[in-house]
Structure 1
Amino acid sequence: MRPPKPRIAKPRLHWRWVRGKWEPYHRVTWTEGGKRRSREVKLDWKGDSEELDRLYWLAQSGRHSAQQSPARYTWRECIEAWRRDAVAGQGKLQDSTKAGYRRTMDAIMEKNSDKDMRKTTRQGVRAAISTLSDTPRKASRYAQTVSLLWNYAATELDWPLGENPARRLARYKPAREFEPWPEWMVAKLDSAPESVKIAARLILGTGQRPNAAITMRRDQIDGEWMRVRDEKGDQWLEVYCPQSLRSFAAALPVRGAHFLAKNLREPLGYHAVERAFRIWRADLGDAARPFTLHGLRKLAIVELAEAGASDAEIQAVTGQSADMVAYYRKRASKRALSKAAQERRK
């Protein structure tokens, strides 16, 4: 037998027997097109009359959460759409690149999930980037991610967003400024562990990212040409192989399908080589601390520029962007000018 209905009566307040108990609902009725229509909002009062009163007046004024229109053009909606989109969204990105974007998107969701993207200002993006100034790589990735999402929402979701507030905020500066190796450190490679020595020569000779060089197969060098993998663009490039790299590769002992072989079929992992590099770098002293394996890729740009290669020629070898090539070419220009100036002193 049902217990009596609560003796609380208010305009538009209706009680319904639901799953063995009385539940209050705020009901609005109207006529539309000659038909009677209604809308109900359940008031989750939990048996508390004061809470019922509060929820009732929210519903009466149209401010109850169930009466609010879902927010549109939010960061959450855009990020979730990008993550679902296997073609225009994540499509051709490498797993490591996708993981980096996802981490930054999680941070954006944490603070801006339900905020309207259209209200984002360039000043707001700058302020967010400035909080990451101690970690330049994260700051640059934040600007890149905001720009990526903005362009995706504008072109793929057809959202009326206006100008991209993160446009060019990460331009002309790498995610991290990798220092090209100095000559003395390259000369010290003869004392490096074999895995570090081979990895360094492959990175410098190919101009590719450390992981692409470390996992390079022996059959990727065929006579005067080599096939190298552009990991970021997920494509293979055919690049002329310099004689110095051909001679170095030919002299290496064959231990498997890869130059740096874990076994007959698998290459050594990046982390194993990088760990050996850090131990060797520590033995070189504090002067070597700023330099990483990635710095050899930047040194390749500097060496090519000093040899007289054009930006387009450098891009054809390394696969790096025009902005990145221009950024590191400045190092080569200053070195070349300083050498010319100092030579005149003789």
Structure 2
Amino acid sequence: MKPPKPRIQRKGLIWRWERGAWQPYHRSYWTEDGKPRQKEVFLAWGGDEVELDRMYWLARSGKHATQVRPATHTWRECIVEWRSDLTIQGELAPSTKKSYRRAMDTILEKNGGKDMRDLTRKQMRAALSNLAATPRKASRYAQTISILWNYAAKELDWPLGPNPASGLAKYKPAREYEPWPDWMIAKLNTAPERVQIAAELIRGTGQRPSAAITMRRDQFAGEWMTVVDEKSDEMFPVYCPDRLRVFVDGLPKRGAHMLAKNLTEPVGYSSIEHAFRTWRKDLGERAKPFTLHGLRKLAIVELAEAGASDAEIQAVTGQSAQMVAFYRKKANRKALSKAAQKRRE
């Protein structure tokens, strides 16, 4: 004899006697091509009313596992195809591929399984707004989205609409990075140890912050150091100044890298950047305009003030001739203003 049917009643909820027990189903109705349709979804509640409630509302909202269709035209599919395209990969510089890979890894982590066609321009603008504090990163993200969208539409023949990132990758720094002033260099001894180390490496090597922060100990050998040109992905030897050599020799050995996370990995750039921003905030408003990149620019100014030629400065920092000329003006102006003012004394 069957036990009484469960009293739980809801819209679309039906009960059937199966496998010696009352089993719940959710039935939904709709019209397709003028014809009435219906579908039933089994709710595996296991006799638990709380679980039944959860399963019912999943089915009611169309999110039950049996209702959700696997996404097609996903970001993951597109990225895999793009990375496998030998023609494209052969045309890109190593540094360009590296920067795209970082942006694509972020997309894969957050939205890899999502349908590309679901992305709207409004959502794209919102995502870039969240990256407003790092405009260069925001620009690269928008550029990567745009490249993948165009690739899917033109090379994969996917039925996509207008590119939601079109025209949004327009990064231009509001101003050039300011070299650190003397007072901020003097305050460096109040910064966290890892910020001090990063600052000395950036200033001493003239490299980009990301390259300096991830330097290995074996990149320093006597009076020479091996630095990385991130644009060409090449390494080349540069003379190591005495001040930096003494500093490096005095650092405790905690791993293979100068700033070691563990024995084999370096501390990440974002970790150093966060520590730097926290310290900079403690210095007050006048420190706000200065960034870690400003230490690289300071290296150019210091070299220029020491009498180095443009070619010599480029050999150390790897900066373009235009950039060296721009920051040389700051060094020349300081020297000229000092000479002019001295005449009044």
Shift of 1:211: 1.1
Q: Which runs of 4+ in 1 moved over 6 A?
A: 80-83, 108-111
Of 255-264 and 94-103, the range deviating more from structure 2:
94-103
Cα separation, 2, equivalents of 1:178 and 1:84: 37
Hey, what does 1:334 align to over in structure 2? Answer: 333
Shift of 1:87: 5.1
Shift of 1:110: 7.2
Shift of 1:83: 6.7
RMSD, matched Cα: 3.1
Shift of 1:132: 7.8
Hey, what does 1:61 align to over in structure 2? Answer: none
Please, which of 172, 176, 185 is the counterpart of residue 136 of structure 1?
172
* Cα shift readout 1:37-73 (whole Å, capped 9, x = no counterpart): xxxxxxxxxx9xxxxxxxxxxxxxxxxxxxxxxxxxx
* Cα shift readout 1:205-260 (whole Å, capped 9, x = no counterpart): 00001111111111211111110111122000100000000011111111111111
Cα separation, 1, equivalents of 2:195 and 2:230: 20
Q: What SS does the aligned partner of 2:91 have?
A: coil
Hey, what does 1:93 align to over in structure 2? Answer: 95
Of 99-108 and 87-96, the range deviating more from structure 2:
99-108
Mapping of 1:240-279 within 5 angstroms? 240-279=239-278
| Unmatched runs of 5 consecutive residues or more in structure 2 | 1-32, 34-81, 105-140, 155-165
The aligned amino acid for 1:305 is A
The aligned amino acid for 2:237 is E
Mapping of 1:117-136 within 5 angstroms? 136=172
Q: What SS does the aligned partner of 1:317 have?
A: helix
The aligned amino acid for 1:85 is T
Cα separation, 2, equivalents of 1:336 and 1:344: 13
Cα separation, 2, equivalents of 1:81 and 1:194: 39
Identity %: 59
Matched, 1:198 2:211: no
| Unmatched runs of 5 consecutive residues or more in structure 1 | 1-46, 48-79, 116-127, 138-174
Of 301-310 and 329-338, the range deviating more from structure 2:
329-338
* Cα shift readout 1:242-295 (whole Å, capped 9, x = no counterpart): 000001111111111111111111111111111100000000000011111011
1:344–1:285 Cα change, 3 Å:
same
Residues 229, 318 of structure 2: 8 Å contact kept: yes
Q: What SS does the aligned partner of 2:261 have?
A: coil
Mapping of 1:1-346 within 5 angstroms? 85-86=87-88, 88-98=90-100, 103=141, 104=143, 106-107=145-146, 136-137=172-173, 177-346=176-345
Q: What SS does the aligned partner of 2:95 have?
A: coil
Q: How many residues are treated as equivalent by the alignment?
A: 219
1:249–1:81 Cα change, 3 Å:
closer
Of 328-337 and 180-189, the range deviating more from structure 2:
328-337
Q: What SS does the aligned partner of 1:246 have?
A: helix
Shift of 1:191: 0.5
Tell me the TM-score normalized by structure 2: 0.56
The aligned amino acid for 1:325 is V
1:219–1:100 Cα change, 3 Å:
closer
1:81–1:190 Cα change, 3 Å:
closer
Shift of 1:311: 0.7
Cα separation, 1, equivalents of 2:175 and 2:98: 16
